[in-house]
Amino acid sequence: MVSGSGGKARVAVLASGTGTNLAALLRDAETPDAPYAVALVLGNRQDAGALHKGRGAGVPTVAVERTSWGSRAAQQAEMLRLLQEHEVDLVVLAGFDQILSVDIVDAFPDRIVNIHPSLLPAFAGSLHAIAEALAYGVKVTGCTVHLVTADLDAGPIILQEATPVRDDDTLETLSARIHALEHLTLPRAVRLLATRRVKIDGRHVLLLAAPSPSAAAGP
């Protein structure tokens, strides 16, 4: 990949909420060795914290609200237009609370990832996966970064990180640990995709090793 933005992959982040995962990506993208740049932030709520974070970082940031566009189809057609206008290579769903249109999914084959706060397939499709895991009594939970396909939360898994559930965990303590894991895992996954180190074989994703510096330097 590694195409636009000074040889870096151009990443769009779609978010509806607070935007702590967006903030983690913005931080990571600022490090000199980052193989990607956040080129666009799209939201579907004007007042979302994520949009404030995008604007604060000086990234082109647009709210495409469904109510302003009349229908989900028109809203998502506008989102697709913006993704194409900004020459985006990768799309990251970081707490985006709408299902993407087939047109968007088809426009970025194996180039859209989502982060979900559970070990998928557990608690797939849930907007309250952490609370549900706690209520269910699972002993281990975590987060998953997966490719987005037509099936909700069911695309091939790129990375998962786990945390034990403690007897005294509350929604707050468990959420804090999972979010801390997310903020490490999502940038890692984006780096892997940006450097084409993700090989997809059906449901299976192979993560390729980074080329060694000596190999890159050549003879």
Binding residues vs ligand GRF (CB under 6 A):
15, 17-21, 50, 94-95, 115-117, 179, 182
Within 10 A of 214 (CB to CB), how many other CB atoms are there? 8
Q: What is the dihedral of CA 28, 30, 33, 35, to 10 degrees?
A: 70
Residue 87 DSSP code: T
- Residue (2 or 99) nearer to ligand GRF, CB: 99
| CB of 17 vs ligand GRF, minimal distance in Å | 3
Under a CB-based contact definition with an 8 Å cutoff, are residues 80 and 104 in contact? yes
- Residue (77 or 138) nearer to ligand GRF, CB: 138
| CB of 10 vs ligand GRF, minimal distance in Å | 20
| CB of 80 vs ligand GRF, minimal distance in Å | 21
- Residue (10 or 177) nearer to ligand GRF, CB: 177
* Calpha distance 210→192 (Å, rounded): 9
Residue with smallest beta-carbon separation from ligand GRF: 95
* Calpha distance 161→182 (Å, rounded): 8
| CB of 68 vs ligand GRF, minimal distance in Å | 21
Under a CB-based contact definition with an 8 Å cutoff, are residues 12 and 40 in contact? yes
The active-site residue out of 86, 116, 183, 204 is 116
Q: Is 128 a catalytic residue?
A: no
Active site residues: 116
